[in-house]
A = this chain, B = another copy of it.
């Protein structure tokens, strides 16, 4: 076939599902990779499996990594997820939902799979504008990882191939991400973004992730097809 393979990091959320659609559109055979890292919102793995199947990926792998052993984040411990914060609050400092070195760990595991598959392309849905204060979502971080990847592997070392970390969303607003995904036929009703969903996968509508998502849909002038636990009233101002 000669179809190029790409490893796509997939959480089952709005951003990574959009990235998967971009990789498909660019002609890649997609190997979707999700992580069971002790997240409290484990239901996202069911969403990831469904969106991967809907996108027709070659394979969807779920790798267990035991980040809970380290503690240190509201996403993997009993620390409450903050609710109802303003955009200004979100813009200051690193939030408690930060998982230590998460994107470094996830990209490293994507690199391990890419090397096994002899794939030279990795896609990740990081976003520097609406990034909610995470240091490992910045362009400098991605560039440093790409440099590392090319020193770390047989591919970068012996085979003369070059590994590329694709970040198609890095300069987009949430509104632009929603518009991009809709133009590629993404069904956002199958995705989940919430840090604190119900047992059936209904979003809370109040955590940072929900608020950023709802703002994106509101600005795009589109109703978010995801299921929320409450009636959500949202202003773009």
Interface positions of A (Cβ within 8 A of B): 61, 63-67, 69-72, 93-94, 98-105, 107-109, 111-113, 115-116, 135-136, 138, 140-141, 144-145, 147-149, 151-154, 156-158
- The answer, among B69, B94, B112, B145, for a CB contact under 8 Å with A100, is B112
Q: A63-B65, A148-B141, A158-B94 are in contact. Are A100 and B71 (CB under 8 A)?
A: no
Q: Are B100 and A113 in contact (CB under 8 A)?
A: yes
Query: What is the count of identical protomers in the complex?
Result: 2
11 example contacts (A-B, Cβ-Cβ < 8 A) are as follows: A61-B69, A67-B112, A70-B112, A101-B108, A101-B111, A104-B148, A105-B108, A105-B109, A135-B152, A141-B152, A147-B147
Contacts of A116 in B (CB 8 A): 70-72, 100
Question: Of residues A100, A135, A148, A154, which shows the largest number of chain B Cβ atoms within 10 Å of its Cβ?
Answer: A148
